[in-house]
Amino acid sequence: MGIFPINLLPVSLRIRNAGWDHWSGGDMCPRLLFLASKPKDQKMKNIVAVLAFAGYSAMALPALAGNALGTAFAGYDPVTYFQNAPTQGKAKFFHLWDGALWTFSTEENRETFKADPTAYAPQFDAYCAWAASQGYKRPGDPNVTQMVNGKLYTFVHEGAREKWRADIAKHIADGETNWVRIEPF
């Protein structure tokens, strides 16, 4: 009889089905135990263990920062870029906007952002401005940015920012034209 503990279920569960007993303890760190009573159940036991591991692995993935709920802008406080002092935000000062969790270094910055989020949020949803101007999306790096006419632009790396600087006005216009097409994807 084999036993495979896997952290999965948040509540106690007991199901009897075709020679299998499944249960979890219901404690703060619950377990799902698979017990096979017959050797022929080995294949089913392996399938269930693989599926359970895959589900557990998927739950452990980090949150992404596009328009899915995740930490926006790698947790940086966007208002601090307008104060010439980019700073990492703190979890206690957060605001949900545009499908993401934005963090701020102070409560004052959070309130400033809440009053006019589009004025402070990076352009192109914090994706690389160079990539947007070329018609595709790449994640922006909060450490590679540029302010133009009171708007914050991010870039995937320094090389992308240098290419973008060759003709800033053209690349902004191209990015805005392309963004309508690439933003939903």
> What phi, psi does 138 have (nearest 5°)?
-140, 145
The mean pLDDT of the chain is 76
**For residue 11, what are its two tokens?**
């509540």
pLDDT in tens, 61-91: 333 444 445 789 999 999 999 999 999 999 9
Q: What is the pTM of this model?
A: 0.63
Alpha helices in 22-155 (DSSP H): 42-59, 107-115, 117-120, 129-134
CA separation for the pair 128, 77 (Å, rounded)? 18
Which residue did the predictor score with more confidence, 14 or 51?
51
- Statement: residue 119 has pLDDT above 70: yes
108: helix, strand or coil: helix
CA separation for the pair 56, 47 (Å, rounded)? 14
Which residue did the predictor score with more confidence, 44 or 84?
84
CA separation for the pair 58, 21 (Å, rounded)? 25
- Per-residue CA distances from 76 to 35, 42, 156 (Å): 47, 49, 15
Query: Given pLDDT bands bounded at 50, 70 and 90, which one contains residue 169?
Result: very high
Q: List the one residue out of 13, 24, 129, 120 whose CA is nearest residue 72.
A: 120
Domain boundaries, the chain: 3-59, 72-182
Orientation angle between helical segments 168-182 and 158-165, nearest 10 degrees? 120
Query: Given pLDDT bands bounded at 50, 70 and 90, which one contains residue 183?
Result: confident
79-94: burial string, b at 16+ Cβ within 10 Å, e else:
bbbbeeebeebbeebb
pLDDT in tens, 26-37: 333 333 334 444
- Statement: residue 93 has pLDDT above 50: yes
117: helix, strand or coil: helix
